[in-house]
Amino acid sequence: MSEHAPRVAVIGGGQLARMMAQPAVALGVPLRLLAEAEGVSAAQVIGDHEVGDYRDLDALRRITEGCAAVTFDHEHVPTEHLHALEEDGLAVRPGPEALVHAQDKIVMREAMSRLGAPQPRWAEVATHADVEAFGLPCVLKVSRGGYDGKGVWVVRTADDIDEPLAAAGRTGVRLLAEELVDFSRELSALVARAPSGQAAAYPVAASLQVDGVCNEVIAPAPDLAPELAARAQQLALRIAGELGVTGILAVELFEARDAAGETVVLVNELAMRPHNTGHWTQDGAVTSQFENHLRAVLDLPLGSPEPRATWSVMVNILGGDNPDVGRLYDGYPHALARDPKLRVHLYGKGLRPGRKVGHVNVYGEDLEDCLERARHAAAWFRGDLGNHSE
């Protein structure tokens, strides 16, 4: 069989890999997936997949054989395996030197210090005394392996220190302390960067987290001073360039006030893959983050990150507590009839409370209207407005 385009391997079968498949189809680029289990989100839509463990170098080698490049749904592939794949001659995108900054928060903080990027005061800590010396209140984080707020503790009194220390001890990961930032909101500066050095910056978005999980995103961030937005975009572009990122880089930022009362942005963390704060781009931007990620992975020219409308709103659909909600599909008749401009993205995942199972996008000229429509639809799918299958 002759191939019409280079094949790209994707490691990890979550919704991000699933959403990469859409632009891959449009671009005529075949994907091959290493899935953690049969039937996971991306395995439902990428026919060419195998089940295997991303920590197993042999499985990684098997899946990437004959592929022009490999990219990722998550950041957990061991760095040494990425080096081994590179040594085999495979284009690993993003490469291990860049990706480690999204895997290890201490490595990331050290790099931000080196680049002079604005960030919370921080220190590596190993003992009770280290944390007390750093000063309370503070935030303790495991350097590796945390996600969605797991592995992050707000420490207000000396009694709160034991649990994070014990958790880090159990898993053998390093711990860092950060100043507890009194932020006004969380922002995300999303950029795509190709190996050629070409880069594209999306409008800076505001994200609302609930219990450590991203719930709602507005792009562009309302009332963000143009000068601060430009500074955040330039910061993200500089980080992408200095760290040699290929693909999407999301720089998660805190908007806060400095000692002089000036509004500033501080780097919270980096993600090197399509990111929840960029899902709005699927419908609200000329080129989605998923397409620009793929283009970057293949070193193709990037597409325009320009928005299609003044406002875009994304609201996540989380599994709810309503036991009567059976299939998300049953939410369609009302949701689609109420709002013909609603864009729905479901991930084919089972409903569990708090689990991200889909999202809706709305774009338009009136922010309040976009918010109302997107929130209503997400709440409806979730079952918060009653049992939608009746």
**Residue 339 found at the interface with ligand ADP (CB under 6 A):** no
Where does residue 70 rank: exposed (0-12), middle (13-18), buried (19+ CB within 10 A)? buried
Residue with Cβ nearer ligand ADP (21 or 251): 251
Total binding residues for ligand ADP by CB under 6 A? 20
- Cα separation values, 84 from 90, 91, 264, Å: 9, 11, 40
Contact 85, 61 (CB under 8 A): yes
Residue with Cβ nearer ligand ADP (184 or 387): 184
Three-state SS for 211? coil
Binding mask 155-194 for ligand ADP (x = CB under 6 A): -----------------------xxxx----x--------
d(CA 95, CA 67): 15
Residue with Cβ nearer ligand ADP (134 or 381): 134
Q: Which of 15, 233, 268, 289 binds ligand ADP (CB under 6 A)?
A: 268
Q: What sections of the chain are H helices per DSSP?
A: 15-27, 57-64, 79-87, 96-103, 105-115, 128-134, 162-171, 226-243, 281-284, 289-297, 332-338, 367-382
Helix H or strand E encompassing 210? strand 205-210
Minimal distance in Å, beta carbon 365 to ligand ADP?
A: 30
Residue with Cβ nearer ligand ADP (7 or 185): 185
Minimal distance in Å, beta carbon 154 to ligand ADP?
A: 7
Residue with Cβ nearer ligand ADP (121 or 327): 121
Minimal distance in Å, beta carbon 176 to ligand ADP?
A: 10
**Residue 123 found at the interface with ligand ADP (CB under 6 A):** no
Three-state SS for 14? coil
Q: 249-283 b/e with 16+ CB inside 10 Å = b?
A: bbbbbbbbeeeeeeeebbbbbbbbbbbbbbbbbbb
Q: Which of 209, 330, 367, 371 binds ligand ADP (CB under 6 A)?
A: 209
Where does residue 385 rank: exposed (0-12), middle (13-18), buried (19+ CB within 10 A)? middle
Give the per-residue SS3 of 249-278.
EEEEEEEEECCCCCEEEEEEEEECCCCHHH
Residue with Cβ nearer ligand ADP (66 or 137): 137
**Residue 258 found at the interface with ligand ADP (CB under 6 A):** no
**Residue 137 found at the interface with ligand ADP (CB under 6 A):** no
**Residue 386 found at the interface with ligand ADP (CB under 6 A):** no
Residues in contact with 65: Cβ distance below 8 Å, sequence separation at least 6, in sequence order: none
**Residue 104 found at the interface with ligand ADP (CB under 6 A):** no
**HSE of 86, CA atoms in CB hemisphere, 13 A:** 12
**Residue 103 found at the interface with ligand ADP (CB under 6 A):** no
Options 27-35, 145-153, 257-265, 334-342: segment touching ligand ADP (CB under 6 A): 145-153
**Residue 213 found at the interface with ligand ADP (CB under 6 A):** no
**Residue 146 found at the interface with ligand ADP (CB under 6 A):** yes
Catalog residues that contact ligand ADP under the rule CB under 6 A.
120, 139, 141, 146-152, 178-181, 186, 209, 212, 252, 268-269
